[in-house]
Structure 1
Amino acid sequence: MKQTYLKKAFRLFAAYKASKLSSDDLEIAESKAAHLEDKISDFKLLLNMARDIMTGKYKANPWNVSVIVATIAYVVSPLDAIPDLVPVLGWLDDVTIVGYALGKLSEEIKRYKTHIATAE
């Protein structure tokens, strides 16, 4: 991916941190997850985290919540660094953003998995 697309993707990601998600957004994101290749299960985990945060079943610090929201908003949004209509490349920026978020959220994801295991 060209460096300019990557820079644009991260600028958009930063802008999406202030977004608010609805249940409809989460459903749209779930339907788009199929395009994320090897990140599908990780992205679905982020969606579950967002649902549990929205319902109060899980608490995360505000910065981590903003990363989760920005990631989901970026995948859902038609405004990407590379439009999703472009075959293959259109999803490459989404995969990159999801991978970046997963790296930033690694400790939070561990806490969430522990929370789920103890809640069952």
Structure 2
Amino acid sequence: MKQTYLKKAFKLFSAYKADQLTSDDLSKADAKASNLDDKVIDFKVLIDIAKDISKGRYKVNTWNASIIVGTILYVVSPIDAIPDLIPVLGWLDDITIVGYALGKLSEEIKRYKESKIQFTK
């Protein structure tokens, strides 16, 4: 991916971190998840974390919450560094942003999964 697209993607991602998620955004994100190649499962975990945060069932710090919100909104937004209408290339920026977020949130995702395992026992 060209460096300019990557810079634009991270600039948009930063802007989306300040927004709020709606249940419609979460539904759209779930529908678009299949386009994220090997990151589908972990992206769906981010969606689950967002749902549990909104229902008060899970707590995260503000920074991690902003990364989760920014990532989900970036994926569902029609305004991307590379528009999603362009086959294959349109998802590269989304995959990059999701990969970045998953790297930053690896400990949070692990903690969330462990909390779900404990809850089901």
TM-score by length of 2: 0.98
Aligned counterpart, 2:6: 6
Aligned counterpart, 1:104: 104
Aligned counterpart, 2:51: 51
Aligned counterpart, 2:70: 70
**Mapping 1:23-62, distance limit 5 Å:** 23-62=23-62
Aligned counterpart, 1:80: 80
Residue 117 in structure 1 maps to residue 114 in structure 2: no
1:9 shift after superposition: 0.2
1:25 shift after superposition: 0.6
Q: CA–CA distance in 1 between the matches of 2:26 and 2:3?
A: 29
Runs of 4+ in 1 over 2 A off after TM superposition: none
- AA of the residue aligned to 2:116: I
- AA of the residue aligned to 1:56: G
1:76 shift after superposition: 0.4
Q: CA–CA distance in 1 between the matches of 2:110 and 2:61?
A: 14
Cα shift readout 1:25-69 (whole Å, capped 9, x = no counterpart): 100111111111111101101000000000011000010000000
Q: CA–CA distance in 1 between the matches of 2:16 and 2:78?
A: 12
Give the alignment's Cα RMSD to 1 decimal. 0.5
TM-score by length of 1: 0.99
1:11 shift after superposition: 0.4
1:110 shift after superposition: 1.1
- AA of the residue aligned to 2:37: E
Q: CA–CA distance in 2 between the matches of 1:104 and 1:96?
A: 12
Q: CA–CA distance in 1 between the matches of 2:88 and 2:67?
A: 24
Between Structure 1 and Structure 2, how many residues are aligned? Answer: 120
Structure 1 residues without counterparts, runs of 5 or longer: none
Q: CA–CA distance in 1 between the matches of 2:74 and 2:85?
A: 15
Q: CA–CA distance in 2 between the matches of 1:43 and 1:111?
A: 15
1:21 shift after superposition: 0.4
